[in-house]
Chain A
């Protein structure tokens, strides 16, 4: 199996979180398959898609996890967040309640994921501008204050979807590059610092001889 795997330099695991109904699954399908489904069902378990993009001259494979299962199965939260290097926290700009609980989602995220995870706040459904309940400035300010990236999207008309994923993947990429540099520097300067490997499990650099099962 897996014989037709494309070549890539990095795999980044990114998770989608947020209240149910905010459009996580449609953001994912818009990005990975350029599809939008008007009556998509509640996600049960995990939806899992990949797409490979170019960041600079590196080929980055985004491995994106989407679930509504979090509310249903606590049993999978640990597996869901493990090794994630990026997270999109999605809310619906037409439902203030979905924005109010963003900090709960952030708490859950930081409880389970690595502290170094790159987080982007995403206000979805800008196509419903006339029903907006969350002002953009408010969300932007919240993101700035909490060190999150921020973007507003519409999975329906594709606005900013591509850009959202590209921005977060680039940010992760730069972080990884910096970490690499720093760890190689610190190795020369001081011995006995923490091992550089333990930082982010999913950003695996693919070895050319990698054997697929």
Chain B
């Protein structure tokens, strides 16, 4: 009634008339509201009605302007927040590059650095910091990576051509095993962060992910490819060049906790779960009792979290922040993170039964607020009756023998 947009030709076009149907380009609501008289072929409105309509029209315009102003303010605030965040990241980059990285050995354990580290490492230096923190105990060189990769390619070629004998040190591993592992890698690559479109067939880092996983199966035929590895390799590829990603990958998997899980050493895994439960009971006794009552064992949620280092279960940005501190604090931070998540959702979880808890924890909400999670993790004490994580674990391992 009040806005007749189409119509007679003599009407001047509004400057932002829809030239193209683009969802991005919508006229502002105030400019879209145009008060029109009735078309000439119809009787004119009575003066009173016209007056009323004019008034209604003006009210609408005022309302719309208010709304727009509010929107504009909201946008401005968002932009300000973004700028602030970007500035703080920019400052952190300078500190990392100019002060910390050149003096790594002396500075990496200082209080100031540890605090900055907790805030999250800026993406542009993240790879470097991870590499330094993970280290290279295995002394892997770029050349060794090339050799492993060449071997992997050789294997793949021989398998695809029907598989004559290829001599590798891993006798005892049948061609069938290798083929199965190769198939598994292929399958998993396309399932690794599918929404990023980076690792899928035809994506920019598809071949890189394939190469690193293949090279690893040649480097450690005793471990081979285990599901979950593709996520770890992918996160590293996002932050490091190929050979460096391989070095970090192999060294990371060589850590005791990762070795226990990727070799599927059940006894040792149970020990880790038991240690986790000690701190669970200490930090969240009520929830712990609730889980016990419902027979909800930690393996149900921890397996996925530990195998993929949270990269599958948490939003990627948040997962990278967990990785940051994991690189700083080691395996205990993985379990501390788990407790932080449980703590954050303690109230909801205590009201759920077995199946709902299991569902909730294996598919966490997508919009996890990273600040809240980290506040929650910070509140978790990794100390039980004066014993630290490593001591508790040691005692449990000893008891198991």
Q: Which residues of A contact B (CB under 8 A)?
A: 1-2, 21, 23, 38-39, 44-48, 63, 65, 69, 71, 73-79, 82, 94, 97, 101, 104, 107-108, 111-112, 127-128, 130-131, 156, 201, 211-213
From B119-127, B345-353, B355-363, the one touching the partner chain is B119-127
Q: Is the CB of A75 within 8 A of B197?
A: no
Q: Which residues of B contact A (CB under 8 A)?
A: 15-16, 19-25, 75, 79, 82-83, 86, 89-90, 93, 123-124, 126-127, 153, 156, 193, 195-198, 201-205, 207, 210-211, 214, 235, 237-239, 241, 316-317, 319-320
Tally the A-B contacts, defined by beta carbons under 8 Å. Answer: 99
Residue of A44, A74, A131, A156 with most partner-chain B CB within 10 A? A74
Q: Is the CB of B205 within 8 A of A79?
A: yes
Q: Is the CB of B123 within 8 A of A78?
A: yes
CA separation between A101 and B82, bound complex, in Å? 11
Q: Is the CB of A78 within 8 A of B126?
A: yes
Q: How many whole Å from A156's CB to the nearest CB in chain B?
A: 6
Q: How many whole Å from B241's CB to the nearest CB in chain A?
A: 7
Known A46-B198, A69-B196; judge A104-B86 contact (CB<8 A): yes
Q: Is the CB of B25 within 8 A of A94?
A: yes
Q: Is the CB of A76 within 8 A of B198?
A: yes
CA separation between A213 and B75, bound complex, in Å? 47
**B204 proximity list for chain A (CB < 8 A):** 46, 48, 63, 65
Known A75-B123, A78-B124, A112-B123; judge A128-B25 contact (CB<8 A): yes
Residue of A1, A23, A47 with most partner-chain B CB within 10 A? A1
**B202 proximity list for chain A (CB < 8 A):** 48
Q: Is the CB of A45 within 8 A of B124?
A: no
Q: Is the CB of A156 within 8 A of B20?
A: yes
Q: Is the CB of B22 within 8 A of A46?
A: no
Residue of B16, B24, B25 with most partner-chain A CB within 10 A? B24
**B237 proximity list for chain A (CB < 8 A):** 79
Q: How many whole Å from A100's CB to the nearest CB in chain B?
A: 9
- Residue contacts A-B, CB under 8 angstroms, 24 given: A45-B193, A45-B198, A46-B196, A46-B203, A47-B197, A48-B202, A48-B204, A76-B238, A77-B123, A78-B126, A78-B239, A79-B198, A79-B237, A97-B79, A101-B79, A107-B86, A108-B86, A111-B93, A112-B124, A127-B20, A131-B15, A131-B19, A212-B207, A213-B214
**B86 proximity list for chain A (CB < 8 A):** 104, 107-108
Other-chain contact of B196, A76, A111, A131 (Cβ < 8 Å):
A76
CA separation between A69 and B239, bound complex, in Å? 15
Known A47-B197, A65-B204; judge A76-B19 contact (CB<8 A): no
Query: What is the interface of chain B mostly: helix, strand, loop, or mixed?
Result: helix
Q: Which residue of A lies closest to B27 (CB)?
A: A131
**A211 proximity list for chain B (CB < 8 A):** 153
Q: 5 tightest A-B contacts by CB?
A: A45-B196, A79-B238, A75-B316, A21-B24, A77-B123
Q: Is the CB of A39 within 8 A of B197?
A: no
Known A39-B23, A79-B238, A127-B19; judge A74-B123 contact (CB<8 A): yes
Q: Which residue of A lies closest to B19 (CB)?
A: A128
CA separation between A39 and B21, bound complex, in Å? 8
> Given contacts A21-B24, A39-B21, A76-B196, could you give 12 more A-B pairs where the C-beta distance is less than 8 Å?
A38-B20, A45-B193, A75-B123, A76-B198, A76-B238, A107-B90, A111-B90, A128-B25, A130-B19, A131-B15, A156-B20, A213-B210
Q: How many whole Å from A73's CB to the nearest CB in chain B?
A: 5
Q: How many whole Å from B322's CB to the nearest CB in chain A?
A: 11
CA separation between A44 and B205, bound complex, in Å? 16
CA separation between A27 and B121, bound complex, in Å? 33
Q: Which residue of B lies closest to A82 (CB)?
A: B241
**A130 proximity list for chain B (CB < 8 A):** 15-16, 19
**A101 proximity list for chain B (CB < 8 A):** 79
**B320 proximity list for chain A (CB < 8 A):** 74-75
**B23 proximity list for chain A (CB < 8 A):** 38-39
**A71 proximity list for chain B (CB < 8 A):** 82
Other-chain contact of A213, B90, B156, B317 (Cβ < 8 Å):
B156
Q: How many whole Å from B68's CB to the nearest CB in chain A?
A: 14
**B16 proximity list for chain A (CB < 8 A):** 130-131
Q: How many whole Å from A185's CB to the nearest CB in chain B?
A: 28
Residue of A23, A69, A71 with most partner-chain B CB within 10 A? A69
Q: Is the CB of B153 within 8 A of A213?
A: yes
Q: Which residue of A lies closest to B120 (CB)?
A: A74
Q: How many whole Å from A89's CB to the nearest CB in chain B?
A: 15
Q: Which residue of A lies closest to B239 (CB)?
A: A78
CA separation between A130 and B25, bound complex, in Å? 13
Q: Which residue of B lies closest to A100 (CB)?
A: B79
CA separation between A211 and B157, bound complex, in Å? 11
CA separation between A127 and B151, bound complex, in Å? 55
Q: Is the CB of A213 within 8 A of B207?
A: yes
